[in-house]
Structure 1
């Protein structure tokens, strides 16, 4: 495979299929799904492209070493043996993240610390000076993954998590993670071929991700930097070429994306984020209480939203969800309505039968993405 090497893209639970499909569409080789991750092969240019374009990836890791590990000393010795000077200088800064699924090793913070010690000691003993730790903006971010006795050491090519797209300067109380938002748009099957409404838009994230999908704008074009930009072998010219070719694939979008929120503060935030993402031409943010609205356009409408769960935002859940059902029934014929919730009681109160239910996690909360098909008249008439 020439200059191709193995990489692992991490994602959220339930998004593995979406990410695998994205990777294949981008041109990845030998794509294999895991749990919350997808492995693949590509070259250095593809690594840049994956970070720039993937909507459902949280991190792109480049494994550099695999070994069996029996105890902490073992871990230290194996990491010490790696030729770290290939990847960083003693004057650089580093951060180590650890993920541990093992009966033998249980404390990920301790594993991260032990790994960091091994790298720092190696530099001190061979170069006479040691790199410092910088948890926020390190020159090199290293990932240690232990599954029972198997340990994988990877370089983190993304740096900060890829859900930090760079357009969101302001959020409200319970903002939705950008990767989760993009995945919801994709799972709902929206492809920019009709109007879209987010009736409870909060900071506008769902609408922004939807517009970027409709226009084929690279997901992470607004980010300040990626981890790989600080690597010794970073090829700036190649990166610029790839960025330019991705930008050339942007397309026009001929429908409307509308956001409602009844809180003026949320509207202000949503508008600001839409401006930061350079999408004000495509998204309008309006001050509306969804429960007092009805469908304004002819033709099909795609509704997608993230209503309050009663977790961080106080609402009378049953009444609130009943109003969602009533509003859809009365005012929104000829629409596909999707929303995500972790409130299973609330879901019963909607009073409509979902045609689809997809199990997801929103942070730590087990959630459902549900779809309601709202017909003109009754469903029975539609069938006849």
Structure 2
């Protein structure tokens, strides 16, 4: 019999070797698959034992087609009663097209009709359709006018082993994990180096697949069903004998198991997921896990082994500069701790591996879903282990480079100039550096005993590794110059955000702490959001609101975390109303107000698109209004795109309708090229107070915002 096994792109040759080792004959490589021959037992064995295949197909028809009638006639040439009974259900998977058949749903419908009509004509009954859990899956594919039809013997994709019910943010498919291990030389490597370690194990897929390979456990042993089990030509006795053989091999393999399997992750919750998945896989007693960051990682035991990991590489999980540091930390740790080991790093962003700083033995190209990815293999020689007493290469533990020292000197100078001002005003959040030196394009903000570093996105013409090295100098200098713990320095890359990116969490933790400003308390978070919860440049405006709020009704539009509302409350406002589109920020706002003692009915929070809300209001109900719209927003939650330059006239007019006759609107925004349209706003008395709203820590960057007081003409 002839069969086809499909697989992810890039592992076809591995699959061919695997099938040959399982006894397959006439093995031949195909794009994203392998053709092979053998008796039925060979197909069953491939379904049960292949760690790399997605599906095992039995071709039953190959012919030329062009039109829908050609397709229908071709399908009817198959004797479908040899494969299924009318009482069974089926599902059709159709891919490809011709000039006449240009829709996959239409093609699948034609295939289904041809099968159903034939069986109904013979038996008077017809099979049903079950797309989710059919008795038989049929694959039809057209390419270059040639139709290939196959019975899917595997059923659900073979990568679904049955042990992983929980996963992390970007999990590897199980067969891709097995392919990475195979490329890295596992499990043959375990004869001399019987340790497997993944320092960022996530849901544990690499660890579990590695344990199964070393224990000779069939990857299909946990599956509830295969596609062939309801197929009419299924040999149940043969299948049972193969399962019994696999079970005995599993018992023998676990009894003889001598490999040590270790995992680590900085997210303790993912370790629980790893152990739960390992328990379902029957190998939880073989895997040890612990919580650890890459920067604090040490080799898990004295023996040598295989270090293998799939670190993050996409924007979902981190910005490129932060990830550069992660990969550099990986390289430093490998050099210092893992001499004598083999290492494998799999990434969808090969440029990041340049930061590892190790010479590769081999590089393999594989696809992780749609992502063109690379597997980098390294040999770590014993003399790379850091000797006892040798200085660590971690930032802060070695002498600063010349460029880092230059940056540190500038930080010290700036801090000295700000010390008197910040102490007199009890300021715990302030900017200490903002791209003062062209080579160091970062902003550095202090939040009590934490430091928040924002890297301005470099032009594409700048060499990424050189830019990264300069950023490394920045992060090395900050702890020494500012006297903070290196682990309390948080890096983000600043770039324009669009849509819901402006409001989404960027991390998984909830790492809040509290700072004070002019007697107000604020919750800030440097890790989990694009911004920290406190716009430092608006400090003088907030203080002005605090000094003028006594006895007034205050409205805060685009309120963010309602820091201005807190200042108004502390200043004695009669009431505050805070409006924002984001439920996340409004919850944050409520907590900010609550920790300052403002949780009563006088303080209101409204979740709404501010423009929509303003258009619905008519009554002048406020004495003091603060409006700080974003420069640009195209969030799906908005009724329209907001552009502050284009839309500021309408925003101001709408807000002024709500302002009492003797009140004041403070209008601010952060668009550096902003120009207020005085002519269109001629009905109002406008005073540019920008210069008064720039504190000493932003004097170098006076265009950080524009600010205006707007009143009714008397």
TM-score, scaled relative to structure 2:
0.51
SS in 2 for 1:73: helix
Q: Does 1:235 align with 2:235?
A: yes
1:308 to 304, 308, 312: 312
2:381 to 365, 375, 378: 375
Which residue number corresponds to residue 321 of structure 1? 327
1:363 to 369, 386, 392: 369
Q: How far apart are the structure 2 equivalents of 1:113 and 1:284?
A: 50
Q: Does 1:349 align with 2:345?
A: no
Which residue number corresponds to residue 118 of structure 1? 114
Q: How far apart are the structure 1 equivalents of 2:324 and 2:206?
A: 24
- 8 A Cα contact 2:341 2:379, kept in partner: yes
> How big is the shift at 1:103?
7.0
Q: How far apart are the structure 1 equivalents of 2:270 and 2:172?
A: 13
> How big is the shift at 1:299?
3.2
Q: How far apart are the structure 2 equivalents of 1:90 and 1:38?
A: 32
Write out per-residue CA displacement over residues 184-224 of structure 1, whole angstroms, 9 at most, x where no aligned residue. 11111021322010110011011111111111111110111
Write out per-residue CA displacement over residues 56-103 of structure 1, whole angstroms, 9 at most, x where no aligned residue. 111000011111112222011111232212211222111011232767
Which residue number corresponds to residue 205 of structure 2? 205
Matching of residues 6-17 of structure 1 within 5 Å: 6-17=2-13
Q: How far apart are the structure 2 equivalents of 1:49 and 1:68?
A: 32
Write out per-residue CA displacement over residues 307-366 of structure 1, whole angstroms, 9 at most, x where no aligned residue. 111243235222222221222122222221101101123122222222211011000000
- 8 A Cα contact 1:323 1:350, kept in partner: yes
- 8 A Cα contact 1:104 1:148, kept in partner: no
Of 369-378 and 225-234, deviating more is 369-378
Gap regions ≥5 residues in structure 2:
386-714
2:17 to 13, 21, 26: 21
TM-score, scaled relative to structure 1:
0.93
Matching of residues 249-264 of structure 1 within 5 Å: 249-250=249-250, 251=253, 252-264=256-268
- 8 A Cα contact 1:211 1:279, kept in partner: yes
SS in 2 for 1:337: strand
Q: How far apart are the structure 2 equivalents of 1:311 and 1:12?
A: 23
> How big is the shift at 1:106?
4.7
Q: How far apart are the structure 2 equivalents of 1:340 and 1:102?
A: 38
Q: Does 1:337 align with 2:343?
A: yes
- 8 A Cα contact 1:49 1:243, kept in partner: no
> How big is the shift at 1:122?
2.4
Q: How far apart are the structure 2 equivalents of 1:110 and 1:172?
A: 36
Q: How far apart are the structure 1 equivalents of 2:206 and 2:384?
A: 30
2:155 to 155, 159, 163: 159
Which residue number corresponds to residue 145 of structure 2? 149
Q: Does 1:220 align with 2:226?
A: no
Q: Does 1:289 align with 2:296?
A: no
Q: How far apart are the structure 2 equivalents of 1:175 and 1:110?
A: 33
Which residue number corresponds to residue 125 of structure 2? 129
The structure that has the greater radius of gyration is: 2
Q: How far apart are the structure 2 equivalents of 1:131 and 1:215?
A: 42
Q: How far apart are the structure 1 equivalents of 2:226 and 2:383?
A: 51
Q: How far apart are the structure 2 equivalents of 1:259 and 1:358?
A: 24
Gap regions ≥5 residues in structure 1:
380-384
Aligned length: 375
- 8 A Cα contact 1:357 1:370, kept in partner: yes
Q: How far apart are the structure 1 equivalents of 2:122 and 2:269?
A: 56
SS in 2 for 1:208: helix
Q: Does 1:276 align with 2:280?
A: yes
Distance 1:103 1:20, change over 3 A: farther
Of 151-160 and 341-350, deviating more is 341-350
2:43 to 44, 47, 60: 47
Which residue number corresponds to residue 183 of structure 1? 179
Q: How far apart are the structure 1 equivalents of 2:293 and 2:2?
A: 49
Distance 1:74 1:103, change over 3 A: closer
Which residue number corresponds to residue 382 of structure 1? none
